[in-house]
Amino acid sequence: MGTAGLSNGAGARTAEIFEIGSAPEPGVVPQRMYASVIRPERYGSPTEAFRTELVDVPEIPPGFVLVAVMAAGINYNNAWAASGEPLDVIAARRRAGEPENFHIGGSEGSGIVWAVGDGVRSVAVGDHVLMVGARWDERATDIRFGRDPMMSDSQKTWGYELNYGSFAQYALVAEFQCLPKPANLSWEAAACFLLTAATAYRQLTRWAPNRVEPGSVVLVWGASGGLGSMACQLVDLFGGRAVAVVSGAAKAEYCLANGAVGVIDRSEFRHWGRLPEPGTAAAAEWATEVRRFGRAVWDVLGEKRSPDIVFEHPGGDTLPTSVYVCDTGGMVVLCGATSGFVGTLDLRLLWMRQKRLQGSHFANLTDCMAVVELAAMGRLDPCLGRVYPFDEVGRAHQDMVDGVHAYGNSAVLVGHRPAPAAEPAVPR
Ligand SMILES: NC(=O)c1ccc[n+]([C@@H]2O[C@H](COP(=O)([O-])OP(=O)(O)OC[C@H]3O[C@@H](n4cnc5c(N)ncnc54)[C@H](OP(=O)(O)O)[C@@H]3O)[C@@H](O)[C@H]2O)c1
């Protein structure tokens, strides 16, 4: 990944401050940078919590890399960080001895390697990279004994549990968090998809024997969202059949264009949330509704088939239905809980039908590289939705919380400014 003509190094520091969208020469590092910062006294809604501030550019430890961020991807985790719930990420880091009383979020992004710490060998100043949203200690005992790094006790989410994420002019990552940016993608398209695509890839491929295979039926919740748009495409690429679930008929066309075989509008059903107490009228109504939902899956498929895999992330509202509709011996694989992290389920279905409820969290480097390669080959569309200016990081998260964000994955511009539209040849 080296770039001829540029030398490695920690970078000369300059007192000059560079405006968003401009930058010094590669290798020259300013002392201060603009960052979209969360502070404890502002915990609350994203529009309140995020503010653009000037902060010190961090020092670069051995094995680490400073990346000049061109664009950053928007994910739900920093809506949680903004609220300080369920984890106060700043307090947790301070308890662990870190001095910063602020959080710079952003768990994915695209950029240019600007300066490198001692011992860095796999990337060089000037490389165009994507940044992986998790970090672990490569020397951790469990990893040395062959454990998947995502299962390591040392693993943490970068730009959430770890500071100096991509919502800043410069991000701090371990060298192994840098993957080559596909040359066919713009900075913003490259910035927006790695976290959701790699998470979806792991959910669909990692948990043998419940892997998506040719002919597999996969029920995909939130199919027009970040994870869902990636999942529908991956299911299709693997030869499976994705049944998309969305709210509102308007999203159907988008899901079908992304590889879904059919779409269910969840707003036509009423059985969401906590399972009612058995034997009550509410439980009878729930049973009627969930059977109707199951028939909607059959209608999409044109046969009485239940999903081999249920691709879960709404959590509390949908888990009872996911467990109900999942096929005997099938798997509900869950990576999030947008609608609430207390989930209920009918345990009888789990043992009598020998279903599996599997947690899945982000991705290791193999999972990440798989989706980067698919994108580089043009086989996986990053589904870039809305692109926000840097001072709207809070707005971008607020739109996600309010459910009014664009379909697919959104990004924010940091160092990159798209070329202005060409002047019309004939004055209008
Ligand atoms: N563990 C990990 O590594 C990891 C990685 C990525 C994401 N996640 C988590 O996964 C979740 C989704 O992420 P995302 O990027 O795909 O978000 P997103 O783009 O906002 O998409 C989520 C979709 O879920 C659907 N949804 C929302 N509330 C729902 C409800 N009550 N019942 C059913 N569907 C509901 C919405 O679609 P409709 O309204 O159209 O149904 C929405 O478009 C978040 O909680 C995120 O934190 C976890």
- Whether 313 is in the pocket of ligand 1, judged by its Cβ within 6 Å, is yes
Residue 14 pLDDT > 90: no
> How much is the pLDDT for 25?
79
Please work out whether the CB of residue 202 comes within 6 Å of at least one atom of ligand 1: no
Tell me the pLDDT of the chain averaged across its residues.
Answer: 94
Based on its alpha-carbon atoms, the radius of gyration of the chain, rounded to whole angstroms, reads 22
338 lines ligand 1 (CB under 6 A): yes
The region of weakest confidence among 14-28, 74-88, 112-126, 199-213 is: 14-28
- Ligand 1, atom 37, lies closest to the CA of 222
The ligand 1 atom nearest the CA atom of 335: 1
Give the end-to-end CA distance of the chain in Å, rounded to a whole number.
46
Span from the CA of 173 to the centroid of ligand 1 (angstroms): 26
CA–centroid distance, 227 to ligand 1, in Å, is 7
CA of 416 to the centre of ligand 1 (A): 27
CA of 401 to the centre of ligand 1 (A): 10
**Does the pLDDT of residue 420 top 70, yes or no?**
no
Residue type at position 40: P
- Describe the crossing of helices 365-376 and 226-237 by its angle, rounded to 10 degrees: 80
What's the CA-to-centroid distance between 375 and ligand 1, angstroms? 22
How far out from the chain centre does Cα 377 lie? 21
- Residue 222 CA to ligand 1 center (angstroms) comes to 6
Q: List, for residues 116-166, the tens digit of each pLDDT value.
A: 999 999 999 999 999 999 999 999 999 999 999 999 999 999 999 999 999
Within 8 A by CB and 6+ apart from 17, the residues are 30, 32, 33, 34, 54
Q: Is the pLDDT of residue 2 over 50?
A: no
Which of 227, 267, 333, 397, when mutated, tests ligand 1's pocket best, judged by the most ligand atoms within 8 Å of its CB? Answer: 227
Between CA 332 and CA 221 the distance in angstroms is 11
Contact (CB, 8 A) for 181 and 407: no
Complete domains list, the chain, with CATH: 12-192+383-413 (3.90.180.10), 197-359 (3.40.50.720)
Would you say 376 and 352 are in contact if contact means Cβ atoms under 8 Å apart?
A: no
What is the average per-residue pLDDT within 215-239? Answer: 98
Residue type, 231: A
Given a cut of 80, is residue 421 above it in pLDDT? no
Q: Given pLDDT bands bounded at 50, 70 and 90, which one contains residue 173? A: very high
Better-scored residue on pLDDT, 368 or 421? 368
How far apart are the CA of 370 and the centre of ligand 1, in A? 22
Q: Is the CB of 221 under 6 A from ligand 1?
A: yes
Query: In angstroms, what is the span from residue 224 Cα to ligand 1's centroid?
Result: 9
pLDDT at 11: 65
Q: Is 136 touching ligand 1 by the criterion CB < 6 Å?
A: no
Residue nearest ligand 1's atom 18 by CA: 225
For 170, the 3-state DSSP assignment is strand
Structure tokens at 85: 């719930």
Question: What is the whole-number distance in angstroms between the Cα of residue 160 and the centre of ligand 1?
Answer: 17
Q: Are strands 309-312 and 109-116 parallel, antiparallel or unpaired?
A: unpaired
Share of the chain above pLDDT 70, in %: 95
- Cα(52)–Cα(42) distance, integer angstroms: 13
Q: Is 133 in the pocket of ligand 1 (CB under 6 A)?
A: no
* pLDDT, position 418: 63
Decide whether any atom of ligand 1 lies within 6 Å of the 266 Cβ: yes
- pLDDT one-digit tens code per residue, 385-396: 999 999 999 999
Distance between CA atoms of 154 and 247, rounded to whole angstroms? 38
What's the pLDDT score for residue 1? 41
Copy the structure tokens of residue 99: 């001095």
Which residue, among 388, 392, 387, has the nearest Cα to 52 in the 3D structure?
392
Beta bridge partners, 30, equal 14
No. of helices (H) and no. of strands (E), the chain: 13, 20
Compute CA distances 264 → 185, 221, 251, whole Å. 31, 10, 10
Q: Is the peptide bond before 209 cis (omega within 30 degrees of 0)?
A: yes
Query: What's the Cα-to-Cα distance from 116 to each of 93, 128, 169, 182, 396, rounded to whole Å?
Result: 24, 14, 16, 21, 31
Share of the chain above pLDDT 90, in %: 90
Coil, strand, or helix at residue 245?
strand
For residue 210, give every residue at least 6 positions away whose Cβ sits within 8 Å of its Cβ, in sequence order, or none. Answer: 308, 309, 330, 331, 333, 356, 358
Question: Residue 305 class from Cβ within 10 Å (0-12 exposed, 13-18 middle, 19+ buried)?
Answer: middle
Q: Is the CB of 107 within 6 Å of ligand 1?
A: no
Residue 63, pLDDT above cutoff 80? yes
332 has which bridge partners?
Answer: 310, 357
